[in-house]
Amino acid sequence: MRSDYEKEIEFSNDLSEFLDRATIEDQKRVALATVRTVHNSTTPNSGKNRRPDIAVHLDGNASVEMNWRALSNPFFIECKKTRYDILNDITQIYGYKYKRGSQKHGTMEKYGDYHVAVCCPEYLNEDFDLFDNGSSSSWLSNFALCRMLWHLGLGWFYFDKGAQSYVLAFNDQERITLVP
């Protein structure tokens, strides 16, 4: 039987392959750039796993402007098995926003050197609904987690069933669409 870590690595590898050569579109569905992905396949004890699961690089000198800032090149997607794993590892994910020795890290600036988004298999399901909290006994709603991530300057990668597209959102105004 595979461990949770192996399942998470398999999910992140599949997502990396799925997004490789995807097109980034703005909210008006205008193509802005093509991306290539690099999967971090290091093992937990290699010493190199202090980086997110997927690095997404914009091709060439492409720049993607959002409302208030440009998307970092590369930007990152950290994959977790469940929304509860996202919450449990929030300090790890938060640290990915900063380069080592960065001035922004020293001041804990909300928007770091890199854009980092999180994802789990639940968020890519075509039936996913941000406002559906799952079972009535669930103490962690998707909406509350999303808002917390945004307040920390982190993003959220999910399937928007209304728009029928994959969205990378850093707040209500700064969002882009990835078209595989």
Which of 59-73, 82-96, 123-137, 157-171 is predicted least confidently?
123-137
The predicted pLDDT at position 134 comes to 57
Q: Which residues of 125-154 are buried (b: 16+ CB within 10 A; e: fewer)?
A: eeeeebeeeeeeeeeeebeebbeebbeebb
Residue 154: name the closest of 103, 89, 61, 57 by CA: 89
Which of 67-71, 91-95, 131-135 is predicted least confidently?
131-135
The residue with greater pLDDT, 16 or 132, is 16
Instruction: Tell me: cis bond preceding 180? Omega within 30 of 0 counts.
Output: no
- The whole domain housing 158 covers 4-179
Average pLDDT for the chain:
86
DSSP 8-state class, residue 71: P
Q: Which residues of 94-103 are buried (b: 16+ CB within 10 A; e: fewer)?
A: bebbbeeeee
- CA distances (Å), origin 144, targets 87, 134, 177: 11, 13, 22
What is the percent of the chain with per-residue pLDDT over 70, rounded to a whole number?
90
Number of domains in the chain: 1
Contact indicator for 102, 109 with CB cutoff of 8 Å: no
DSSP 8-state class, residue 121: G
Contact indicator for 157, 170 with CB cutoff of 8 Å: no
pTM of the full predicted structure?
A: 0.89
Band (pLDDT 50/70/90 cuts) for residue 155 is: very high
- Decide if pLDDT at 73 tops 90: yes
